[in-house]
Amino acid sequence: MSRLENKTALITGGTSGIGLETARQFIAEGARVAVTGTNPKNIAEARSVLGEAALIIEADAGNVAGQAAVAEKIRAAFGTLDILFINAGIAKLQPIEEWDEASFDRSIAINVKGPYFLIQALLPVFSKRASVVLNTSINAHIGMPTSSVYALTKAGLLSLARTLSGELIGRGIRVNAVSPGPIRTPLHDGHAPTPEQNKQVVDAIAAQIPLGRFGDASEIAKAVVFLASDEATFTVGAELIVDGGMATL
């Protein structure tokens, strides 16, 4: 298929998990793709999986000052940008009494602040028919214990999908959101200090999914491909929930 033929795309956090799979599908659909990441092991894996078809940019999603540099690299490589998938994020789950200011600020920086200023920096680079997709979460809708800060950041992104869709549509930029349920990615490997405790957390999450399993990154990537493509040209400020029925509970 070639739903993204001749389109340019940037995926933040595109060197692992949902981002890497989405990059793979974007390329298969004909797009020229750039991905960002910071982990050397993940960057090496992305180079192996994506090959020469992708531009890999080392960038910290939470570094506000660095977002302008990312935008400049996209301008230099592509000229204009047709698709932005804001995917980079962290999911730290712990009780409210265990949070400190530094950890709180880091979650806000990576999940909300950095993405906001990346969109701002890319405004002169976006094409006149651009699509922005924000990776939010079903946690923005449900009251899952220990997810207070994570859910807060994802609810902020979901709000941005609505407000920026109204603000940017006059420039030809569509903004939408995809809200995954729990997806089997490395993001879920760091919820707890030990592997045993982490398994308990993961098992407890899986028990809340009506389908009885975590989702696969490819299932989210397919939704992002749709929102990024011209098949979704009349879709503005929408949220596509892909959660195995979790929000129905």
b vs e for 152-171, b when ≥16 Cβ sit within 10 Å of the residue's Cβ?
bbbbbbbebbbebbeebeee
Sole residue written with tokens 């030990």: 194
- Which residues are within 8 A (CB) of 247 and not within 5 positions of it... i.e. 6 or more apart? 138, 141, 142, 181, 241
C-alpha 168/C-alpha 224 separation (Å) is 19
- Give the relative orientation of helices 67-78 and 114-122 as an angle to the nearest 10 degrees: 40
Quick one: 77 exposed, middle or buried, by C-beta within 10 A (0-12, 13-18, 19+)?
middle
3-class secondary structure, 120: helix
Distance from C-alpha of 125 to C-alpha of 68, rounded to nearest angstrom: 11
Please confirm, yes or no, whether 150 is among the known catalytic residues: yes
Q: How many C-beta atoms surround the C-beta of residue 200 within 10 A?
A: 13
Through-space distance between the first and last CA atoms of the chain, rounded to whole angstroms: 36
Q: Determine which one of 85, 126, 150, 214 is catalytic.
A: 150
Burial class of residue 59, CB neighbours in 10 A (0-12, 13-18, 19+): buried
User: Would you please indicate which residues are annotated as catalytic (active-site) residues?
Assistant: 150
